[in-house]
A and B are shown apart, each in its own frame.
Chain A
């Protein structure tokens, strides 16, 4: 896999963030993301992945700089940012069981003012996106009546209807079984390959999934970037040991690499 250097759509420069100004969550993070890349922010729990995503979403205000399509993040209004970045949270818990179609339509909020309502065209758009993701039959069910894997796809549908070209996913497969995990991640990858979105950035904690579905990996531990680049460059036994404290074997098969724990009894 070759990384295209042109069209950097996200540039993160020397990013640092500390909760309450004391607890350091990110320190000196820098990387760029180009069009057409699926990027995994990889690291164990507490590595700072979610904090990094929150900085990209302007929910947290870090030190350093973030550029989205060449524009400094803090010069972009929240509404404009929501038209550029679609966000898929790790978990969704709604108190009220909305119908799937109504829930997906909420993704149109950045295109509306406080008093306006979604149009018929937007309804059709929502149905079309559900069809693309293969979940059109869920449209009239409530979100309380769908499985974890289906809910994840519904959240992706809500992000896609934002018409944002950057997809940000926070541990999208954290609560899924292996079959749903593979399904969700391959759908994300296909969205980029089919150019429905310019890039997808996923926070993941599983190196195996990261190698299978990413063009680029940003490896993090305790708020510091350990390595970044193509999966085979980043996922070396040394880097993985540094981050996870476990020895891994790297197996090369075809174009891909597979990461397997060396000795489970020593974990």
Chain B
């Protein structure tokens, strides 16, 4: 087996492997055989004997939903990051450039600070995430005819606008407990999204969007050329970039609305993959989908297991990401020009 094939196989198998191993991790001591019995008893009914009831509930009500939610969120953020870095021709871009993260943060803050408890936070977050993207899109098209620089700058403007609005919302929050819950939401927590009903909703958006981005993988190579070169190759870069940006915005909005703000994954994972498989997006995009899931599942394992309290995952992805990024910068010459 060649080295490249080995690396690619490792990346693909890392996701199911990390999912399986993560079901064994947690504060409740588990026997691996009982865990597999519990999983198999649902996947292939009647194939194994019935596992202990308490463990079965822990696996299916707590651990697996959390792990699957983490992999979906990681997949969404990393895939969006890889696609955006290619099409915006900027290796430092992350999905947050589209304005959806700060929009979602503002929406969640409004729900947590001022609205009654029955209004779903994720609905408010999603609504404002999409409003933010709509604003970015309108400014970029209205002012800059959809050029790369206008898309990036309008993202910066809308991010600043919603960050200020978020600060104002926090300042005006009447109740300190509510303020604390806003702060906690902003740090990101996969636990918020770890319900099967939420997972189905997330999957319904993230999986089709990821599949379409994977199908666009070679086109992203063309979109990473200058506008002039792309046009000379018969491609309309502004229209195709907008289409791709919409898919990324939808995925990111879904992920952050359910799990809160999680940094670095969308920036870092594509770079790790480029170092492993090269720069061609035909390889980068599909392997990023898998490794994005793995990275987030592992980060969430640390969040759950490092201390007796669950550490907000946004803190961990940043703590893990920053030193890793410094290491990557040293090796970056191979993939950046």
Contact = CB atoms under 8 A, between A and B. Distances in A.
Interface of A: 54, 57-59, 77-83, 85-87, 89, 92-99, 102, 106-107, 109-110, 112, 114-118, 142-144, 162
B337 A93 contact: yes
B235 A95 contact: no
A97 B335 contact: yes
B34 interface: no
Chain B: interface size category: 20 to 34
Query: Which 7 pairs show the lowest CB-CB distances between chains A and B?
Result: A82-B234, A87-B232, A110-B234, A79-B234, A109-B233, A96-B279, A115-B215
B219 A114 contact: yes
Given A89-B226, A94-B225, A114-B240, 16 more contacts: A54-B228, A80-B234, A87-B229, A87-B232, A89-B228, A92-B225, A95-B91, A95-B224, A95-B337, A97-B337, A106-B222, A114-B219, A115-B215, A142-B279, A142-B334, A144-B337
A87 B228 CA distance: 9
B336 interface: yes
A144 B335 CA distance: 9
A114 B226 CA distance: 17
A106 B221 contact: yes
Given A97-B335, A144-B337, A162-B233, A114 B216 contact: yes
A115 B217 CA distance: 8
Contacts of A144: 333, 337
A258 B225 CA distance: 38
A87 B230 CA distance: 10
Interface string B228-262: 11011111100010000000000000000000000
Interface centre among B224, B236, B337 (most CB of A within 10 A): B337
A102 B320 CA distance: 33
A119 B221 CA distance: 16
A51 to B, nearest CB: 12
Interface string B309-337: 00000000000000000000000011111
B233 A94 contact: no
Contacts of B183: none
Nearest to B239: A114
A106 B221 CA distance: 7
Given A96-B274, A99-B278, A109 B235 contact: yes
Contacts of B216: 114-115
Nearest to B229: A89
B178 interface: no
A97 B218 contact: no
B89 interface: yes
B86 interface: yes
Contact of A59 (B219, B224, B231, B278): B231
Contacts of A117: 217-218, 282
A99 B231 contact: no
A169 to B, nearest CB: 11
Given A102-B280, A106-B222, A95 B232 contact: no
Interface centre among A89, A93, A97, A118 (most CB of B within 10 A): A97
B195 to A, nearest CB: 34
A107 B233 CA distance: 7
9 contacts: A59-B232, A78-B234, A82-B234, A83-B234, A85-B232, A89-B229, A95-B336, A96-B335, A114-B216
Given A78-B231, A106-B233, A99 B282 contact: no
